[in-house]
Each structure stands twice: as C-alpha cells, then as structure tokens.
Amino acid sequence: MDVLNLLFVNLREAITTWLAGFLPMWAAEAVVHFGVGLILVVIGLLAVMVLTLGERKVIGRAQDRYGPNRWGPWGILTPVADAIKMLTKEDIVPEGADYWVHLLAPMCAIIAAVLIYAVLPFGEGMWGTDLNIGILYIVAIASLGTIAILMAGWSSNNKYSLLGAFRVVAQLISYEIPMLLSIVAVVLLTGSMSMVEIVRQQSVPHLITMPMVFFVYLLAASAELYRTPFDMIEADSELVAGFFTEYSGMKFVMFFMSEYFNLFAMSAIITTLFLAGWRGPILPGYVWFFFKCGVVIFFYWWVRSMMPRIRIDHLLNLAWKFLVPLALVNLMVVGLVDKLIADGIVQDVVLLAANIVVAIVVIGLLAFASRKTRSKRLQRITARR
C-alpha cells in the first residue's frame, strides 16, 4: 500500500537522483521544482476542463436534461470545442479603455488563482511547498483576485463594468471576514497555519467536530467563488457579465479559467481544513483527496441547481448581520473548549456538543426573528387596509 501511497513522492526522488548524476545538485533541484510547478498548473487546467463539463452535466441532470452530449462519447470533448472556439475569437479592447490595466487584469486574476496551488497538499508528501504560514498565504493571495477584478472594471471604460466590479469588491470583502474567522477557529484548534500540519492533526475531521464553523466557511466560500446563491456578480440570467462585460477572446477565458481554478482550489482548502485532507482508509491519499474535493464541488453544483440568486442588500445583510456574529461565537466556543479541555476524544465530543447547542440557538433566533418580521409586515398590511 505504501508503494502506491508514496508513488509520486518516490518518483520525484528518483528523478532528482537521476538528474543529480549529470547536473549539480542545485540545478537538479531547480529542474524538479520547475516540473512540480508545471504539474500544479496542469492540474488546474485539467480541473477547468473537467469542472466546466461536469457542472453543465450535473445541473442538466438535475433539471431533467442531458447536458452537453454532442462532441465525443457522452460529450467529453466539449471542453476542447469550447477552447477552440474561445481561442479563435477576436480580442476587442473598448475605445477609451486603459490599455495596460485592461491587459493586466485577467493576468492578475489567473496568477492569483494559480499561486494558491503551491501550498495545497494533494497527498502524503505531495505538495509544491509546505509553508509554515500556508493558510495565511492562501488568504493573502486570494485577496489579490479582488484587485484584478477592480482593475478590470475600472479599465473597461464602461460604467456597468465598474458597477459590477464595485459589487464584487463589496461582496468579496464582506465575506472574507466570516471566512477568515472560521479559518482562525481551525488554526486555533490545530495550533499551526501549515496546511500539512492541519491535515496531520485531524484524526477526526473538523466537519464532525465543528459543523457550525464548517457551515460558515462553506457559505463564505461560495460567496468568495461567486457561486449561487451569491452570484450577483455575474448573474448569468440577468446581467451581461458584470465586471468582465468588455472582455472577449482569450482575456475572457482567463477570467473564466481563474473562476474554475478558484473553485477547485477552494474545494481543496475545504477538504484540507474540514475533511481531513488526504487521510482515509485503504485507498492512497491522493485518491481520497480528489474524491473529497469532488464531493465538495458536487455539493456546490447541487446548490446551484436549486437556489435562486439573492438580492445584493440581503447578501450583505447575511454577511454582516448573520455570518460575522456567528463566526465570532464559533471562535469563542472553539477557543473556550480548546483552553478548558485537553486534546483528545473528550475535546472532540465537547466541541461537537457545543456546536450543536450553537446551531440550535441560531435556528431558534432566526425563527424568532423571521416570525417577528412577518407579524410586523402583517400589521402594516392590515393597518393600510
């Protein structure tokens, strides 16, 4: 089993030794590191191909349709056809646009998306680099994407692009706070920011021990990825495209790809933080990792097939009036439990119990609040009559 589990790690070792035979050690290391970087980008590109097709298929099936099935068996060549179509499109720069910013924005977006892959642990020993501030690095890099979006909206010389970009920035910055607070809860429990260390310490997945933290993170992540129900930014069925209205051809593809790069990266982060990463019985680590990522992504597709989009003010209300307080309460609960009870199975059970209490209180409060607003609305209606 260990042979399969460490297959890629051993392969990397073997290649390094082989290269060191006729190259100085530093050069061999450099070549191998370059190769690893290339593989990480290829993983991202493959993820884009699989996810674009898979999303359309899954949502089609959920709506009693077949989804794309024309090109190749079961339509598996559809991404290739998409790529050819996109590559042959004309690249249009609008009149009066800020040419350089307009050109750099999609590059920034995709660079921000690709850089995250450097610290994702795909399996035992399978990572670009094990930074001791891995999760902080991810949060920092992910914010770069916001700047790219603002650049795109600003440089397009189109007021609708700019409005779209403002919306994105409002949404992304609002949702970054509950997301960060959830990450802090995990880091507090683990005592490390390294992605590898977080996985190593999860003998019980954090999904089971702190479901409320997971819930907040899942919601915030879906807003960060502009996925339904928080896809105000793109709103396929209402707006033209939001901030990338003025983009066409390869520049548009870069924004599109960065979205799917981010989707896979975010599912990998969720897997690492809450689903115990590559850990799992029998199968090799990387199989477990990709399986868990797939489950997370499928969940996002599933939600997309069913939820309507929510309004922009509701969106921000949800972030500031619900998710941020809830994330703070979670953080407090996790901190208290971590301080009062020593690590071990007792801590896990107490943490789960505390989370369930928080969940019950939250649902109760929400039900109370909704009943109150409903009765108020009723009073208003009757008063008008």
Partner 1 sequence: MFGLGIVKGLWTTGKHFVQSYLGHTGLREGIRPDPTLGGLFTVQYPEEKLPMFPRFRGALMHLRDAETGEPKCTACGLCVRACPNDVIAVDGEGKGRDRKVTAYHYNLARCLFCRLCVEACTFSAIEMSHEYELASYSPDLVWGLEKLLAIGDKYGVHEAGKAWE
Q: Footprint of partner 1 on this chain (CB under 8 A)?
A: 58, 61-66, 69, 302-303, 305-307, 363-364, 366-367, 370
Q: Is 233 helix (H, G, I), strand (E, B) or coil?
A: coil
Residue length of the chain:
385
Q: How far is the CB of 68 from partner 1 (least distance, A)?
A: 12
CA distance linking residue 229 with residue 371, whole number of Å: 23
Whichever of 124 and 231 has its CB closer to partner 1, that residue is: 231
Residue 251: name the closest of 11, 243, 339, 291 by CA: 243
Whichever of 87 and 360 has its CB closer to partner 1, that residue is: 360
Q: How far is the CB of 208 from partner 1 (least distance, A)?
A: 19
Helix 99-115 to helix 249-274 angle (10° resolution) is: 30
Q: How far is the CB of 89 from partner 1 (least distance, A)?
A: 24
Whichever of 349 and 367 has its CB closer to partner 1, that residue is: 367
Whichever of 308 and 344 has its CB closer to partner 1, that residue is: 308
CA distance linking residue 172 with residue 174, whole number of Å: 5
Q: Are 323 and 315 in contact (CB under 8 A)?
A: no
Whichever of 371 and 376 has its CB closer to partner 1, that residue is: 371
Beta bridge partners of 258: none
Radius of gyration of the chain (CA): 23
Q: How far is the CB of 54 from partner 1 (least distance, A)?
A: 12
Q: Are 331 and 181 in contact (CB under 8 A)?
A: yes
Whichever of 192 and 305 has its CB closer to partner 1, that residue is: 305
Helices (H), the chain: 2-5, 7-20, 25-62, 78-87, 99-115, 134-155, 159-190, 195-200, 206-209, 211-224, 249-274, 285-304, 312-317, 324-340, 345-384
Q: How far is the CB of 371 from partner 1 (least distance, A)?
A: 9
Whichever of 173 and 365 has its CB closer to partner 1, that residue is: 365
Q: Left if phi > 0, otherwise alpha if psi is -120 to 50, otherwise beta: which for 276?
A: left
Q: How far is the CB of 368 from partner 1 (least distance, A)?
A: 9
Q: How far is the CB of 265 from partner 1 (least distance, A)?
A: 24
